[in-house]
């Protein structure tokens, strides 16, 4: 099954949305493979947001992401990246439809509650960036036959 990374940003932590956000993925049927609370270091932020290093908002993003600890999660499931992105909604919360996480809880392009990997290739890199192999769990969920047809898992 495909794995993807989700980061609950400081704005989600400060607004006490942790349970609400996590429950959206659980209710959809994604399986939690790993989760931890961490302070993001300057080094990991420089690596994670390297594609924005020349952007004038780079330091503002880093400041926002270090306002408090974040929660990093690895979710898995069939087409997990695509599913998580659909549940999350577009980056700009003002453009996100009601029913998505950002549509329900965000008015900002930056303070948009959550980071979600944008492709399976990126997800693989990001999961390895934030989790050691021994922090990810592979287990048989009793829910699988109730989530997928037999030929889907």
Active-site positions read 115
Angle at 46 between CA 89 and CA 1, to 5 degrees: 50
Question: How far apart, in whole angstroms, are the C-alpha atoms of residue 102 and residue 108?
Answer: 9
**Which pairing describes strands 31-38 and 2-8: parallel, antiparallel, or unpaired?**
unpaired
Which residues share a beta bridge with 77?
Answer: 2
Complete DSSP assignment for 31-74: EEEEEEEEPPPHHHHHHHTGGGTTSTTHHHHHHHHTSS-EEEEE
Question: How far apart, in whole angstroms, are the C-alpha atoms of residue 85 and residue 118?
Answer: 7
């Amino acid at each position: 099954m495909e794995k993807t990374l989700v980061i609950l940003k400081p704005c989600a932590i400060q607004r006490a949305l942790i349970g609400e956000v996590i429950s959206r993925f659980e209710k959809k049927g994604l399986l939690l493979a790993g989760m931890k609370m961490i302070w993001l270091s300057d080094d990991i932020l420089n690596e994670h947001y390297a594609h924005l290093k020349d952007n004038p908002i780079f330091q503002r993003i880093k400041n926002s992401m270090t306002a408090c600890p974040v929660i990093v999660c690895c979710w898995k499931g069939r087409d997990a990246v695509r599913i998580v992105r659909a549940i999350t909604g577009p980056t700009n919360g003002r453009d996100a439809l009601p029913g998505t996480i950002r549509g329900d809880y965000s008015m900002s392009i930056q303070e948009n509650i959550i980071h979600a990997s944008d492709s399976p290739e990126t997800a693989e890199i990001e999961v390895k960036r934030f989790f050691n192999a021994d922090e990810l769990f592979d287990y048989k969920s009793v829910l699988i036959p109730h989530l997928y047809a037999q030929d889907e898992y």
